[in-house]
Amino acid sequence: MAAAFFILVGLQLIAGLYALWSGFQWLQMVRRRMGSHSGFYAPMAAVICPCKGAEPGLEENLLALARFDYPSYEIYFTLATSLDPAIKIIERVKAASSVPVHIVIAGPPQGCGEKVFNLRRAVESLPEGIEVLAFTDSDVRLPHGWLAKLVAPLQDARVGATTTYRWIIPSRTAEGGMASAFASAWNAAIATMQGASADNFCWGGGVAIRRSTFEGARVPEFWAGAVSDDLAMTNALKQFGKAIIFCPECLAPTLHPWTNAGLIEFTNRQILVTRIYSPSRWKMGALAHLSYCGTLIYASIFVLIMLMNGDPWLQLLLLTFGIPLLAAMKGSIRTVAIGELLPECKARLKEWSWVLPTLAPLVPFLFSWNFISSLLSRRMRWRGVSYELVSPNLTRIVSR
């Protein structure tokens, strides 16, 4: 039992030190990107934003899309039905916008996720003059320079797509804000996986891609029968042999309020989608988080037994404590990085600066539940629609 303790704890300490080193690497990458000029490539672009429901802050989020410092672009809002409550807000945004705004009514999804179907219909409606497609989500609030920074790296023909990720900024709700804090810490762990790596993946809330690349990589074919627009696009680009560039300077602030039920639904959905569309990434994540939690539980029981037997235990406790301490230190590095990336959110970030260092050691337990849940069922609920994920190209709509 003692040998198992030292082996398991030792492995986790090594993993924690590596994770801490990768955190410093990520911070350096962020600073390099922030200190470099993005370039001047700015062809005619279409900003495509699927919408559903009148979610909190929707009008402010959509108005931000009409205020980009970008010379030539048009906005395409796409919805499943003209009866959606978001349509009135979109009409107000259209009336107030100096940028051309188009509304695409996709109709009910056919054999794929509603978001994917809406995006397909929007892309099909684009005129020939559009050279770049930029996809975003309705729950993020983007700064003025976002589009220019996301599109500029596409000047390099070797680049398949540029992408970024959401950064959830906690907010207080009727439940007190802990669900929102956990959502932020959970999401940060995924956001910082992206970097200067061949393993980058597209995130649907922030992707820019040349139209020629979109068609050459046969993204619409990968979308057929899919529920995940971004991971299906990732798989298409990987097969096409094109790189995905992560742009941390384009991180998308997300101010969406969270409930406990919403947090579990969201995190379970993300991990289930990963299991279906990226099995290797799912296996690595499951191994990392389940081993972290299993080691802490085993070590805690072992230390307790040593204490009850009157054997030396303090040194073992301190050794065990090193595991969550390293996780907290990496959370602190993430806090420093996001403060530099999102200066416009400085006040909110300062208020919640305790979240990442405090919750980073606990987040693997939520991840572990997500991984276990993804093994028990292939069903998920997303924006009021229940799906069964049979395979990357076969999605069954269970209920609406």
Tell whether 198 is covered by a domain: no
Secondary structure element (H or E) that encloses residue 79, with its range = strand 73-79
The domain in which residue 337 lies consists of 2-26+280-399
With contact defined as beta carbons under 8 Å apart, do 382 and 113 qualify?
yes
Q: State the pairing for strand pair 206-210/73-79.
A: unpaired
Q: 44 and 153 in one domain?
A: yes
Total number of domains constituting the chain: 2
User: Would you give per-residue pLDDT tens digits along the chain (400 residues)?
Assistant: 789 999 999 999 999 999 999 999 999 999 998 888 778 899 999 999 999 998 888 999 999 999 999 999 999 999 999 999 999 999 999 999 999 999 999 998 888 899 999 999 999 999 999 999 999 999 999 999 999 999 999 999 899 999 999 999 998 876 668 999 999 999 999 999 998 778 899 999 999 999 999 999 999 999 999 999 999 999 999 999 999 999 999 999 998 788 899 999 999 999 999 999 999 999 999 999 999 999 999 999 999 998 988 888 999 999 999 999 999 999 999 999 999 999 888 888 999 999 999 999 999 999 999 999 999 999 999 888 899 999 999 989 887 7
Tell whether 388 is covered by a domain: yes
With contact defined as beta carbons under 8 Å apart, do 203 and 228 qualify?
no
Cβ burial of 52 (10 Å; 0-12, 13-18, 19+) is buried
Tell whether 356 is covered by a domain: yes
Residue 264, classed as helix, strand or coil, is helix
DSSP assignment, residue 49? E
Distance (Å, rounded) from C-alpha 362 to C-alpha 364? 6
- pTM across the whole model: 0.93
Q: 11 and 99 in one domain?
A: no
What residues does 380 pair with on adjacent strands?
Answer: 387
Q: 290 and 339 in one domain?
A: yes
Q: 367 and 284 in one domain?
A: yes
Q: 17 and 136 in one domain?
A: no
